[in-house]
Amino acid sequence: MTTRLKLSTRPGTDGTPVVTAVGEIDLSNADSFRDALSRAAPEGGRFVVDLTGVQYLDSAGLTVLFAHLPRIELIASPLLAPVLTISGLADITSVREPQD
| pTM (predicted TM-score) | 0.93
Task: Report d(CA 24, CA 61) in Å as an integer.
Answer: 9
Find how far residue 18's CA is from the centre of its chain.
Answer: 9
For residue 63, how many C-alpha atoms fall within 13 Å in the half-sphere facing its CB?
A: 9
Q: What is the pLDDT of residue 100?
A: 66
Per-residue pLDDT of the chain (100 residues; tens, 9 = 90+): 567 899 999 999 999 999 999 999 999 999 999 999 999 987 888 999 999 999 999 999 999 999 999 899 999 999 999 999 999 999 999 999 998 6
CATH topology of domain 12-96: Transcription Regulator spoIIAA (3.30.750)
